[in-house]
Amino acid sequence: MKANRSIACLLLAALPTLASAHVAEKVETLHDQALAEIPGHRGLMLTVSFKPGQVSAPHVHPGSVFVYVLEGTVQTQLEGGSVETYTVGQSWYEPANVPHLLARNPDPMKPAKLLVWELLKEGDPILKPLERGAH
């Protein structure tokens, strides 16, 4: 019985690592619109869903990003900043081209979901992976 409890504790402790064994978070585009008022730009609205314990790969957004937490808890860190924790109903801003070093769901049991709005130049990707040692 004691051995089973020890194994269960080890598995529970490993869940965040196993969940982040790098499966990309689920991204669903809700709206992608060329902006007549800002020629050469588009507004993009999407949701990003994290599984329990999931961690996003470091990346950079070429556009300005606004993020709102729809469900769960998310931790995030931009280059030069500290790790910040956001919960349902909270939001933040990410300036364009600032390395996003951390985005994770710290909860090993519950998913997290974000509503994201990004202002991009036409042809720019939503994000670019951050090369190792680039920050």
Q: What are the tens digits of pLDDT across the range 30-64?
A: 999 999 999 999 999 999 999 999 999 999 999 99
Radius of gyration of the chain (CA): 17
Residue 13 has pLDDT above 70, yes or no: no
More confident residue, 1 or 106: 106
Instruction: Report the predicted TM-score, pTM, of the whole model to 2 decimal places.
Output: 0.80
- Contact between 19 and 54 (Cβ < 8 Å): yes
- Give dist(CA 24, CA 85) in Å, integer: 20
The answer to whether position 135 is within a domain reads: no
The CATH number linked to 81 is 2.60.120.10
For residue 135, what pLDDT is reported?
56
Residue 91, domain extent: 2-129
Domain count, the chain: 1
CA 129 – CA 39 distance, rounded (Å): 26
Q: What's the whole-number mean pLDDT along residues 70-83?
A: 98
- Give the residue-averaged pLDDT of 21-31: 84
pLDDT category at 2 given cuts 50, 70, 90 is low
Assess whether pLDDT exceeds 90 at residue 20: no
Q: Would you say residue 14 has pLDDT above 50?
A: no
Residue 100 lies in a domain: yes
Is 134 a member of any domain? no
% the chain with pLDDT above 70: 80
Alpha-carbon distances, residue 103 vs 12, 17, 75 (angstroms): 21, 14, 6
